[in-house]
A and B are shown apart, each in its own frame.
Chain A
Amino acid sequence: MDNNLMLTLFNILILLLAPFFVIGIIKKTKAFWSGRKGVSIFQPLFDTIRLFKKDRTISTTTSWVFNFAPAVVFVTTLLAGLFVPMINCYSIINVAGAFIIFSYILGLGKFFALISAMDTGSSFEGMGASREASFTTIVEPAFFIILASLVALSGNYTFASLADVIKSNGTFGILIVILAVVSLFVMLLTECSRVPVDDPTTHLELTMIHEVMILDNSGIDLALITWANGIKMVILMALIANLIIPLGIGFGLSVGLFLLTLVLLAVIIGTLESGIARLRMSHVFEFVFVMSSFALVVASLAAVKMYGI
């Protein structure tokens, strides 16, 4: 029980605090590659605290939806995080079919983010919302295919099936994990609006997807939304970490490996953002479809493993 309590606390701490440091590390990495010293990795945390203190400017066009949405986005993202396993594949809410509830809770948050963007009556924000909604239609089915394949392989309907893949499937497991990790990484880049899908640093509205949707949010609303976006990033990183890190290697080692994975992924994202430019919008769809094809390969491999060729 004590152990579980500790893991629960750890999960909550990771969910709430890791987003700032992950984003801080990404920024630090980008600064390193461009030969700058860069800001401290605590800066995103300070920024959020500053935003909480600031006043808001609200558009006269908006209705209650705009006022209400940031709270929904934050709550749903945090709640979805409670279903996600962190250390030793322990998730606070562990239930069969968790990944379906997880996706639909995130979907609810996305729904409010989209209508909040449309509520401002801005053409830019409408464009961002439209693109975000379209990418979701590619990402989600692929995510479901991957998770369903892993569940079918392990016969375990919870997120614990993630950690099971390598252990019980040998070489096939390793192949499946590599493909699943790559495709979850593409999902991470898409959902958290990173290069090459989106560029979080640009303020040229025509190139943006997620960033443009929150142009009119300010103060506490903006703080909640950026925090929620960071939490979403940590959630997806945690899924990747659980695919890679084996079970039963001791508490200390798994905590270390877990944190190392988060840092490593942040560094990879930072390096990627320094190395390549954002794709042209017409090519972004092709990039996101990479996830779907990888997901189908994962499903085929799972089928071969289970039923032979």
Chain B
Amino acid sequence: MPQTKSNPAPAALEVRGLTKRYPAFTLDHVGLTVPAGSIVGLIGENGAGKSTTLNAVLGVVRPDEGDIRLYGRRQEKWTGADRARLGVVVDGGGYPDALTPDRLGRVLGDCYPGWRPDRYADLLARLGLPGGQKIKSFSKGMRAKLALAAAMSREAQLLVMDEPTSGLDPVVRDDILDLLLEFVQDENHAVLVSSHITADLEKAADSIVFLHGGRTLFQKPIDELRDRYGILQCGAAQFQALNKKDILAWRKLDYAWQVLVPDREAAAQKYKNAAVDAASIDDILLLYVKGETP
């Protein structure tokens, strides 16, 4: 079917109202969109629900409520062909230690009809991974690279990655980010990646989904967060005088208030005596998690 304005191409991944109840935690109506051709970063404190969200997307946990669509197809109706469009990279790789990359390639070649052994061999060589060496001798970085090489050597269109860069040195992280950026050069491809390393997301992601306490706080383009959000530092009197509509979150430090504002230029103009600086994703995360909201 041709894509028109009235019939736009479906997002690579659409999650609506995703709910999963555990005795001690509830993922509460989480929603997010991963447009085709983009990288979406999933952030939040430990226990915010990132892994549960990704596991629900992958079908590892079964949601109590909600709608998950992969390129417009509801999860309940996914076939093998739909699942083949998913590439998965989990922390630690997920591949048995006793295998070698060469053997893993043969296993995955039997599992996926669209497996590309030439592409896999190229990626192993490019990433410096020895094909005949057992995975148990691999460093964490090598395992992460192997998982990515395996996910990118077939017809996967959406990569779902759970903390792929955690515990890796900056060089390996940079290699992985390069591969992700290369992957989304194809406008039908997309990446959903959870990470605690927000610097990586600032480099590669197009938008950020922020989960807090099992709920989606927001999904915003990274440019908006980077270019518009700001941290306003002020004293008690000035804080009381702030228009509450200008405040997204605040935090009281020893002698000052830190206030997250959605438009730092407007805030700087309006509150001339206050210092307004750019906000990093870490700043935003900290203020929402450790601070208060209006």
Partners in one complex: no
